[in-house]
């Protein structure tokens, strides 16, 4: 059997048994954006880790060390954001092939430190080792969040409004440009490449949303809208309906899709790596939260759908018709 036969999530299910042998103090083990354990008083500690591997997640000749380092940290911060937390400490481990120059490694750390400084995060250590062929960067981030504020994937309730904190699909469009080596020589193309290479972790947005009791569940969009909403559905044992007319499609994505004859809705539904947050909010508080979000952040909080009793994911098309969607997205072992 190979990993591609069972997928990343099938593999996790196989290794999960017997991982938790001392459950005291563990609030969340495997299965959310971060693991969470109890620290002092009402404080909880979310911990997350993510690995970027050359030729799987990035091509060394297509990305600067600075951009790679920044993104490696950003994807971890996004998981802390999805818990409503503050990121505090980071640990960085790298496996370095002989041919990789020290200058490139220094640029990786410069990129990381740049983003870490923006969010007040220490880099406290890690490990450096050799690699036979590919560069590997693994980061672990330790955060902090009050127990009363933490957001999980399993807390969505029937009738909740589903929000996205930003555009969906831009990162996928940027990846298309990079993979096909299409020059981003116009502003809208540059913006899409930037969305893919330099995602902004929504830490402030996550804490803002977590401060309202009406906010129930959250996840960050790493695998793609339908895949990540699928995780909320599975963990919360609910269904969801996405309103296709209300998907947040950026003007840049629309231009890109016109130019390359691609479907922006498809990009937004299954693109991945947007690193916006999906949150589900009690409908009674949704309007006020969206209003305050827009006042605070100067951009809209996009209502894109609703949590339902159906147990399945559906899309409501502009003509009002409903179609079932099978949650899909990025699985590193299955992606071809």
Instruction: Mark out the alpha helices in the chain (DSSP H runs).
Output: 3-15, 65-81, 102-119, 170-179, 187-197, 203-210, 225-236, 251-260, 264-270, 283-297
Total residues contacting Mg ion (rule CB under 5 A)? 4
Sequence-distant (6+) residues with CB within 8 A of 336 are none
Q: How far is the CB of 45 from Mg ion (least distance, A)?
A: 17
Nearer to Mg ion, 170 or 223 (CB): 223
Distance CA 213, CA 234 (A): 22
CB 108 within 8 A of CB 66: yes
Nearer to Mg ion, 224 or 264 (CB): 224
**Subset of 217-276 contacting Mg ion (CB under 5 A):** 220, 222
* Site mask for Mg ion (CB under 5 A), range 271-310, x = bound: ----------------------------------------
**Subset of 208-227 contacting Mg ion (CB under 5 A):** 220, 222
Q: How far is the CB of 141 from Mg ion (least distance, A)?
A: 12
254 to 86, 164, 170, 180: CA distances (angstroms):
34, 18, 9, 19
Q: Which of 32, 50, 54, 79 binds Mg ion (CB under 5 A)?
A: 79
The three-class DSSP label of residue 150 is coil
Q: Which of 28, 32, 33, 212 binds Mg ion (CB under 5 A)?
A: 33
Nearer to Mg ion, 71 or 255 (CB): 71
CB 50 within 8 A of CB 275: no
Distance CA 313, CA 226 (A): 8
Nearer to Mg ion, 79 or 170 (CB): 79
Binding of Mg ion by 170 (CB under 5 A): no
List residues near Mg ion by CB under 5 A: 33, 79, 220, 222
């Amino acid at each position: 059997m190979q990993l591609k036969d069972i997928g990343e999530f099938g593999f996790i299910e196989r290794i999960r048994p017997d991982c938790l042998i001392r459950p005291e103090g563990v609030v969340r083990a495997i299965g959310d954006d971060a693991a969470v354990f109890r620290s002092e008083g009402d404080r909880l500690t979310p911990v997350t880790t993510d690995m970027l591997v050359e030729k799987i997640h990035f091509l060394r000749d297509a990305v600067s060390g600075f951009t790679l380092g920044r993104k490696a940290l950003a994807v971890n911060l996004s998981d802390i954001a999805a818990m409503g937390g503050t990121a505090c400490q980071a640990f960085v481990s790298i496996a370095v092939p002989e041919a990789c120059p020290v200058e490139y490694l220094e640029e990786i750390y410069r990129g990381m430190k740049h983003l870490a400084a923006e969010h007040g995060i220490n880099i406290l250590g890690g490990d450096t080792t050799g690699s036979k062929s590919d560069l590997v960067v693994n980061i672990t981030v330790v955060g902090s969040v009050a127990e009363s504020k933490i957001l999980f994937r399993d807390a969505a309730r029937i009738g909740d409004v589903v929000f996205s904190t930003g555009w969906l699909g831009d990162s996928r469009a940027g990846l298309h440009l990079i993979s096909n080596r299409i020059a981003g020589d116009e502003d809208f193309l540059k913006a899409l490449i930037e969305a893919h290479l330099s995602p902004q972790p929504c830490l402030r947005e996550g804490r803002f949303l977590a401060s309202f009791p009406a906010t129930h569940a959250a996840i960050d969009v790493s695998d793609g809208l339908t895949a990540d909403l699928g995780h909320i559905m599975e963990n919360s044992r609910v269904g969801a309906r996405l309103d296709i007319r209300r998907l947040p499609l950026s003007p840049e994505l629309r231009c890109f899709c016109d130019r390359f004859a691609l479907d922006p809705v498809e990009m937004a539904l299954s693109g991945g790596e947007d690193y916006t947050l999906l949150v589900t909010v009690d409908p009674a508080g949704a309007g006020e939260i969206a209003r305050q979000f827009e006042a605070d952040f100067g951009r809209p909080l996009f209502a894109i759908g609703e949590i339902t009793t159906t147990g399945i994911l559906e899309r409501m098309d502009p003509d009002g018709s409903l179609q079932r969607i099978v949650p899909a997205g990025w699985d590193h072992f299955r992606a071809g």
